[in-house]
Chain A
Amino acid sequence: MSERSQRTALYDEHVGLGARMVPFAGYDMPVQYPMGILNEHKWTRENAGLFDVSHMGQWDVTGPNVFAAFEKLVAADVRGLADNQQRYSQFLNPQGGILDDLMVTRRGSSLYVVVNAGCKATDLVHARSVLPAEIKISVRDDLALLALQGPKAEAVLAKHDASVRAMKFMHSQALNIAGIAVAASRSGYTGEDGFELSVSTKDVVALWKILLADANVKPIGLGARDSLRLEAGLCLYGHDIDETTSPAEAGLQWSIPKQRRIDGGFIGAERVQRELAQGVVRKRVGIKPEGRAPARDGTEVQDLSGRKIGMITSGGFGPTVNGPVAMGYVETASAVVGTKIQLIVRGQALPAVVCALPFVPNTFKR
C-alpha cells in the first residue's frame, strides 16, 4: 500500500485548468495542462512559464556560526556568500555519493535552503545528524514555491515591482506583487532567465492567478519541466545523480570552490579530493542520438565494438532541439565530445554521439 499523495495549495487550480495529475515524489502534481508538453516547453523558451514547485522542501537554518556549520554539510562556499546570494550545492554521504542537490541562500544571519521533494525527509534526518544541536532547521511547510521561467519573466514581474529588473542571477530579494510579499530568487531549472518565488501558502493561489492573468504567462507542468532541464543539461536527482554518483563524475565540480577542495571539512570530502586529483572512471556527458528515436533512462551505451561503456540516465525528446536528447555516464575514455557510440533501444543498436551540454544555450542573467 502506498500512502495517499499529498497536494500542494494549488491542487484545485491545476485540476480547474484541466491538468493531468500524476503522483510525483509523494505529491499529486500536474504533468501537463491541455496545451501539451511540446507547446508548454516552447512557450517557456519564448515567453514565460509558471510552475508550481511547492512540493520542494524549504528550510530556514539558523543558529550560532550557522554558515561555518553548514559547510560541514556541503562543499559550497557558504561563509563567502554575500547577503541574498544563492549557490547550488549537494549533500554528500560519507562515501562521497550524492544524497541530494540543493540551493542555499544567505538571508541576513540565516540560511534559506531549497531541497528536492523526493529527498526532503531523508535530507532533514541527514542535516540534523550533522549539524550541532544549537543549529535549528525550520521546515517551512507554511510556504509554497512557484517558478516563473522564460525570456518574458522579468517583464511580467516588473509590471508589479520594477525592482526585479536589477536582480542578478543567483541572488534573491523581496518583491511586492500586487500586495503579496514574495521572496524571489533569480534562478531556475529550465536554462532560461527566470525566478523562483517563495510565498505564503495562504497567498499562493492569489499570486498564481495574478501571474496567469498576464497574457505572456501559461501554466507549465512537470513534463515540460523535465524536457526543459534536460535540454539545459541540468541534473535530475534520482536519475542523473544519486548516492552511487559523485560530484566529479557528474561534472558538478564547478560548484566546489578551490579553497574548499583544499581544505575539505565537509562530509564526503575524501572522495571529492581524490577524484579531483586523480580523475574519475566515468563521467556524465551529453548524448545525441543520430536518428529520431528517443533513448530513455536506463538505455545501455556501447562503444562501436559492442562493449558496454555506460548508461543513459535521462533521455527523451527535446522540443527546442527538435530531436532526441539524452545524458548519461560513460567511461572517461569515451567521454570526449564527438565520440561515436551506440545505444541499445529495443534490441537495436542506434548510432549516437557524445556531445557538450547544454543542448540549448542558457540565457541566465549574468
Chain B
Amino acid sequence: MKFSKDHEWVTVSGGIATIGISTHAQEQLGDVVFVDLPKKGRVVKAHESVATVESVKAASDVYVPVSGEVVEVNAELAGDPALVNRAPEAEGWFMKVKLSNEAELAELMDKTANDKFVS
C-alpha cells in the first residue's frame, strides 16, 4: 500500500489501482456521513479532485493520486458511509482506476515514509 501527501492510499493489482483515504485522514475527518464518488468510466488525472467525503462537520475533497479511467466505485459506501471510518484501508475503499501512467506510482510514499509524514 502506498500513500499520497493528500492522505489517499493506493494498492495496485494487474494495472488496476484501488484507492481510498488513509486511517489518518478518516481520523481527521471524524464520522463520515456521505461519500460523493465519480461515475464509472470517468477519465481522471493525478491530483484531480474526483470525490467528496462529508463528515458531520464538513465536506472534504478527495484527490486521485494516479491518472486513468474509473472502472469501479464502492457501492457499499452509499448505504454505509461509516465503512470509511471502520475500515478505511480495506472495505472502505472509494474507487478502482485503470492506470494510464504507472510511473506516477513512484511519487507515492510507502507506509514508513507516510507514518513519518503524518506524525
Q: Which residues of A contact B (CB under 8 A)?
A: 31-32, 36-39, 41, 223-224, 226-227, 292-294, 296, 316-317, 319, 324, 346
In the complex, what residues of B have CB within 8 A of residue A324's CB? 33-34
How far, in angstroms, from A294 to B58 measured CA to CA in the complex?
9
How far, in angstroms, from A226 to B55 measured CA to CA in the complex?
13
User: What is the interface size of chain B, counting residues whose CB is below 8 A from a CB of the partner?
Assistant: 14
- Given contact pairs A38-B31, A317-B34, A317-B54, A292 touches B78 in the complex (Cβ within 8 A): yes
How far, in angstroms, from A230 to B41 measured CA to CA in the complex?
38
- Find the B residue at minimum CB distance from A348: B36
Judge whether B57 and A37 touch: CB under 8 Å: yes
Judge whether A316 and B36 touch: CB under 8 Å: no
Judge whether A294 and B30 touch: CB under 8 Å: no
- Find the B residue at minimum CB distance from A31: B57
Selected from B34, B52, B56, B59, the residue in CB contact (under 8 A) with A292 is B34
Judge whether B78 and A227 touch: CB under 8 Å: no
How far, in angstroms, from A296 to B52 measured CA to CA in the complex?
13
In the complex, what residues of A have CB within 8 A of residue B57's CB? 31-32, 37, 223, 226, 316
Chain A-chain B contacts (Cβ-Cβ < 8 Å), number? 46
In the complex, what residues of A have CB within 8 A of residue B55's CB? 37, 317
- Given contact pairs A292-B78, A294-B59, A296-B59, A32 touches B54 in the complex (Cβ within 8 A): no
Cβ proximity bits B30-46 to A, threshold 8 Å, 1 near / 0 not: 11011010000000000
- 8 A Cβ contacts from B28-77 to A: 30-31, 33-34, 36, 52, 54-59
Judge whether B33 and A36 touch: CB under 8 Å: no
Q: Which residues of B contact A (CB under 8 A)?
A: 30-31, 33-34, 36, 52, 54-59, 78, 81
- Given contact pairs A36-B31, A37-B30, A294 touches B54 in the complex (Cβ within 8 A): yes
Q: Which 10 pairs between the two chains have the least Cβ-Cβ distance?
A: A317-B33, A38-B31, A37-B56, A317-B56, A223-B57, A292-B34, A36-B31, A294-B54, A293-B34, A36-B30
In the complex, what residues of A have CB within 8 A of residue B33's CB? 38, 292, 294, 317, 324
- Given contact pairs A36-B30, A37-B30, A293 touches B56 in the complex (Cβ within 8 A): no
Shortest distance in angstroms between B6's beta carbon and chain A's nearest beta carbon?
18
Judge whether A38 and B56 touch: CB under 8 Å: yes
In the complex, what residues of A have CB within 8 A of residue B56's CB? 37-38, 41, 223-224, 227, 316-317, 319
- Find the A residue at minimum CB distance from B58: A296
Selected from A224, A294, A319, the residue in CB contact (under 8 A) with B34 is A294
Judge whether A223 and B30 touch: CB under 8 Å: yes
Shortest distance in angstroms between B105's beta carbon and chain A's nearest beta carbon?
28
Given A32-B57, A293-B36, A294-B54, 17 more A-B residue pairs with CB atoms under 8 Å apart are A31-B57, A32-B30, A36-B31, A37-B30, A38-B56, A39-B31, A224-B56, A227-B56, A292-B33, A292-B81, A293-B34, A294-B59, A316-B57, A317-B33, A324-B33, A324-B34, A346-B36
In the complex, what residues of A have CB within 8 A of residue B81's CB? 292
How far, in angstroms, from A195 to B56 measured CA to CA in the complex?
25
Shortest distance in angstroms between A315's beta carbon and chain B's nearest beta carbon?
10
In the complex, what residues of A have CB within 8 A of residue B58's CB? 296
Question: Can you offer 14 A-B residue contacts whose CB atoms are under 8 A?
Answer: A32-B57, A36-B30, A36-B31, A37-B30, A37-B31, A292-B33, A292-B81, A293-B34, A294-B54, A296-B59, A316-B57, A317-B55, A324-B33, A346-B36
In the complex, what residues of A have CB within 8 A of residue B31's CB? 36-39
Shortest distance in angstroms between A208's beta carbon and chain B's nearest beta carbon?
23
In the complex, what residues of B have CB within 8 A of residue A224's CB? 56
- Find the B residue at minimum CB distance from A38: B31
- Find the A residue at minimum CB distance from B78: A292
* Interface-central residue, B30, B31, B59, by most chain A CB under 10 Å: B31
In the complex, what residues of A have CB within 8 A of residue B52's CB? 346
How far, in angstroms, from A31 to B36 measured CA to CA in the complex?
24
- Find the B residue at minimum CB distance from A22: B57
Judge whether A293 and B54 touch: CB under 8 Å: yes
How far, in angstroms, from A292 to B78 measured CA to CA in the complex?
8
In the complex, what residues of B have CB within 8 A of residue A41's CB? 56
Shortest distance in angstroms between A212's beta carbon and chain B's nearest beta carbon?
21
* Interface-central residue, A36, A224, A226, by most chain B CB under 10 Å: A36
How far, in angstroms, from A39 to B85 measured CA to CA in the complex?
13
How far, in angstroms, from A38 to B32 measured CA to CA in the complex?
9
Shortest distance in angstroms between B68's beta carbon and chain A's nearest beta carbon?
22
How far, in angstroms, from A227 to B31 measured CA to CA in the complex?
13
In the complex, what residues of B have CB within 8 A of residue A36's CB? 30-31
